[in-house]
Structure 1
Amino acid sequence: MGTYARQPAGFIRGEGCYLYDAGGEAYLDFVSGLSINNLGHCHPAVVAAIHEQAAALINTCNLYYTEPQAELAQLISENAFGGKVFFSNSGAEANECAIKLARKLGREQGGDAKHRIISLENGFHGRTMASLSATAQPAKQEPFKPLLPGFSYVPRNDIAALEAAMDDDVCALLLEPVQGEGGVYPLEASFLAAARELADRHRALLVFDEVQTGMGRTGRLFAYEHAGIVPDVMTLAKSLGGAMPIGATLAAPDYADVLGPGMHGSTFGGGPVPCAAGMAVFGELLKPGFLDGVAARGDHFLSALTGLAEEGLVVEARGIGLMLAVELDEPKAAGIVSQALDRKIIINNTSDTTLRFLPPLIADEGMIDQVIEFLRNALRG
C-alpha cells in the first residue's frame, strides 16, 4: 500500500552510522530509522545476541516463560522506577496497553465516568485507533473519524489550560517529555511538575510516552530523569530492541497488577529474539561514560545548530541530547532533505519548516560537523 512518502533511495547494508546502497555508496544516517538504531546499524553486540538466541529459541508465544523476556523486564524495571512490564511489538501497542490500564483503573476508582484521557496538542502516540485518538494532530486524525471518545487535548507547557481541563473524571495524562513527530519540542520542567501534581490531586495516572525519547536518546537513559518527575506508567519501543520490533509498557508497583490474565495480550510481544537484542542494547547504554558521551555530543550539536540561528540561517534550534531540530523561516525543509540525500547525508523533516536530527548515539563530532557544514551551505543557497 502507498502509505509511505519514501525517499528516492534504497539500501542493502548498514554499519555504524552509515547505510550503503546497491552501488556501494555510503550515506551518513542522521535519522537512525526514526530512532530505532540508537546504537547504529548492526551493532556487533546486538547482532551476536540475535544470532545466539535465534539459534536456540525464536518464540513460544506468551503462554510460557522465557528467560530473555524476564531478564529484559528486570532491566527495564530496575533502571527506571520499579514495577512490571507488558511487552508488545511497537510504540503504538505500548501506548494502547497504557490506555487500557488507565481506563480499567479509572473505572475501578470512579465508575464509568472516570475514563477521560488528556494528551497534548501536536503530540504523537501512534496510529492505532486508541493511540490515534490521543494524537492531537488534525491531519492525522481527520480521515479516520469518528475517533474513540473520551480524549481531550491541551497546549504543551500551558499549565493553566491543563489545570482547567483536569477534573475527577480524568483517568490519565499522556505526555511525551519531548514531542518528537511534532517537531522536537521539550516540555518544560515546571509543566511536568504541574502534570504530576494535578494527576495526584485527581487520582489520575501520569503516563510518559518515551517511545522516541527513551533508551539514551536525550543523554539520559530515560528523558523523565532530566526534570526528575517520575511517571506512573512509561512506554518504550523503537531502539529498545536495537531495531528489532518490540514495545514495552512499564507500570509502577502500585499499578503493576491492574491488568490481569486475559485482559490484554500479544502473540509475538516480548519474544526471545527481540528481548535478547534489548538486553544487548542495555548492556551498551549502561557502560560507564556512554550516556555522558551522548550528552556531550548533543551539547556540541545543539551549540552548532544554535550558531546557525545566530548567523540568521535558521529561526531556532531546539532539543536535548541527540534529539534535535531547527526551524526554518520558509517552507523549504523537504528541499533541504532532498539536497542532503544528494550529498549522501540522511536527515528528516517533520513539517515544511522543521528539520529533525536523530543520529545514532555513537555519532562523533566529526560527523556532526559534516552535517553542520552541509546545512550552512544549503541554507545559504
Structure 2
Amino acid sequence: MIPSVLPTYNRAPLAFESGEGAWLTATDGRRYLDFGSGIAVNALGHAHPELVRVLTEQAGKLWHVSNVYTVPEQERLAEALTAASFADTVFFTNSGTEAMELAVKMARKHFSAAGTPEKMRILSFEGAFHGRSSAAIAAAPTEKMAGGFGPLLPGFTPLPFLDLGRVEAELAAGDVAAILVEPVQGEGGIRAVADHDLRELRRLAGEAGALLIFDEVQCGMGRTGRLFAHEWAGVTPDIMMVAKGIGGGFPLGAVLATVEAASGMTAGTHGSTYGGNPLGCAIGAKVMEIVSDPAFLGTVRARSGRLRQGLEGLVAQHPDLFEAVRGTGLILGLKCKGAPGEIVAAGYGAGILTVAASDNVVRLLPPLTITEAEVDEALTRLEAAASTVEDAMQASEGAQG
C-alpha cells in the first residue's frame, strides 16, 4: 500500500490549523513558536493583516488571466523590484526552482545570442541547494539530491566551497557562462560567503566575461537585515533568483536581471502559465512595500543581534551539544556536534519549531516581524530543548556504564 500523498517527505507528527504572527496552533490546540517560517517563506509571519487584506481584495477582483495579456499587478511589482535593486527587468515564477531554471537558460541564451554558444558551462559550489529540478540537482549533485536520477544534465561544474583558485582555473577554459552562488547557503548549513569572497567572484566573473548569478531564494527579501544579502558586500550580480519570502506565504518567485544579461530573452524564449498572476503579484507588492522599508530592516537587524547574542550564550552553556552559531540577520544556524534532528525533535516538546540543515546544523528562520519578547521566549524554549537532549545523553551514558 502507498499513501494517497506520495511519501517523499519525512514528516514530523504535527499538523496545524491556524497561525498568527510567529505562532502556530496545532490541531490538538497546542501553540508553537515558529522559527522555521515555512523554511523562510512566511517572512511577515502567519495571517499578517495587510497581506490578508490585499489577498482578499484581489481575490474578489481577479486571480488569473495568463501572460497572453498585460498584467498591471505584475508590472507594479516588477517596477518596485527594479527600483530597489541592480536589475532592469524581472520575470515572475511560482517557485525558486523555476527561477533557477530560467537563470540558467538566461545565462546560456545570453552568450548564444551574442554568437558565443560555446560559453555554456555553469560553475557552482559544494553544499549548495538550488532546487530539485533536473538542472538544479546537476548544479548541486549530492547523493541525497541526485542519487538515482541519472544521467545528470551536462554543463554544470560543482566546485569545492569557495575554492577561488579552482574558479579562476575553470574560467580560463573560456567556456563558462556563469558562476552560481548563494550569498548564504541555507540547506547547506547556513554558510555565509564572506564579503571579500563575493567581491572576488564579481571580479573574476567580470574579467573572464562570465555572468554572476546570485541565488537569494532563502537569504533574500530582508532576511539578512538588508533587502538582498549581497548588498552587504557592495557588489551586484548580473542575474538573481528570489522566491520564498517574496510572496509572504503565497507561491511566488522571480528572476531579476540587467538588460545586458537578459539580452537573449526575446518573445517566445520562456514562459509560465501561472507565473506573475494578479493574485500573487498583488501580495508580493505588499510584501515588497513592507520589507524594503529602511525602518523595518533596521528592526530586523536589531532582532538579529538580540537573537544571536542569546544563541552564543546557549552554545557556551551546552558545549557538548553545540559548536558555534552561524549566519547573519535572521538566517541563523546552530552547528551541532551530533545530529541536528535530536534538537529539532526536542524543540517540538518545548514548543518551538526549527529546521534541520546539512552539516549538522539547526536552522533558525523566524518571521522578520519577530518581537523582542518572542526572541527571548524562543531562547528559553531552545534552552529547554537542549537540556532535554543533554539529559537523554547522560541517561544513555549511565545505562551503558
TM-score for both structures, normalised by structure 1: 0.96
Aligned counterpart, 1:249: 255
Q: Report matched runs for 1:102-141 at 5 Å.
A: 102-109=107-114, 111-141=116-146
* Distance in 2 (alpha carbons) for counterparts of 1:250 and 1:66: 18
SS in 1 for 2:366: coil
CA RMSD of aligned residues (A): 1.4
Matched, 1:317 2:325: yes
What's 1:35 paired with? 40
User: Structure 2: how far apart are the matches of 1:37 and 1:99?
Assistant: 27
TM-score under structure 2 length normalisation = 0.92
Spell out, residue by residue over 1:234-276, the C-alpha distance to the aligned partner (whole angstroms, 9 max, x if none).
1111111111111100111222332011110000000000100
Shift of 1:170: 0.2
Q: 1:9 aligns with which of 14, 22, 31?
A: 14
1:366 equivalent in alignment to 2:360: no
Q: Secondary structure at the match of 1:40?
A: coil
Please tell me whether the aligned partners of residues 89 and 247 of structure 1 are also in contact (alpha carbons under 8 angstroms): yes
Matching residue of 1:378: 385
Aligned residue among 224, 232, 242 for 1:226: 232
**In the TM superposition, what whole-angstrom CA distance separates every residue of 1:64-96 from its partner, at most 9, and x where no partner exists?**
011110000011111111311111110000010
1:183 paired with 2:184, answer no
Instruction: Note if 1:23 corresponds to 2:28.
Output: yes
Contact 1:124 1:137 in 2 (8 A): no
Counterpart of 1:66?
A: 71
- CA deviation after TM superposition for structure 1 residue 288, in Å: 4.4
Mapped partners of 2:247, 2:384: distance in 1: 36
Counterpart amino acid of residue 372 in structure 1: L
Q: Secondary structure at the match of 1:143?
A: coil
Structure 2 Cα separation of the partners of residues 91 and 126 of structure 1: 7
Alpha-carbon contact 1:123-1:136 (below 8 Å) kept: no
* Residue 163 of structure 1, CA deviation: 1.4
Establish whether residue 305 from structure 1 lines up as the match of residue 311 from structure 2: yes
Higher mean displacement: 306-315 or 360-369: 306-315
1:77-226 superposed matches below 5 A = 77-109=82-114, 111-167=116-172, 168-226=174-232
Residue 110 of structure 1: how far off its partner (Å): 5.5
> Contact between 1:232 and 1:251, CA under 8 Å: does it hold in 2?
yes
Greater Cα radius of gyration, structure 1 or 2: 2
- Confirm or deny that 1:283 pairs with 2:283: no
Unaligned runs of 5+ in 2: 1-5, 391-401
User: Residue 341 and residue 378 in structure 1: after superposition, are their counterparts in 2 closer, same or farther (change >3 A)?
Assistant: closer
- After TM superposition, list the pairs within 5 Å mapping 1:259-298 onto structure 2: 259-298=265-304
Q: 1:190 to 1:138 in 2, by over 3 A?
A: farther
Note if contact 1:123-1:137 (Cα within 8 Å) is conserved in structure 2: no
- Aligned-partner SS, 2:39: helix
In 2 relative to 1, CA 343–310 (structure 1 residues): closer, same or farther, beyond 3 Å?
A: closer
- Is the partner of 1:325 in helix, strand or coil? strand
| Bigger mean CA offset, 370-379 vs 333-342 | 370-379
TM-aligned CA deviation for residue 191 of structure 1 = 1.3
Once the two structures are superposed, residues 192-247 of structure 1 have per-residue CA deviations (whole angstroms, 9 ceiling, x without a partner) of 11111111112111000110111111111000101011000111111111111111
Determine what percentage of the aligned residue pairs are the same residue.
42
Q: CA deviation at 1:171?
A: 0.2
Instruction: Kindly indicate whether the alpha-carbon contact (under 8 Å) linking 1:119 and 1:134 is maintained by their aligned counterparts in 2.
Output: yes
User: Per-residue displacement from partner, 1:19-52 (whole Å, max 9, x unpaired)?
Assistant: 1122332111000000110100111111111111
CA distance in 1, matches of 2:156, 2:326: 28
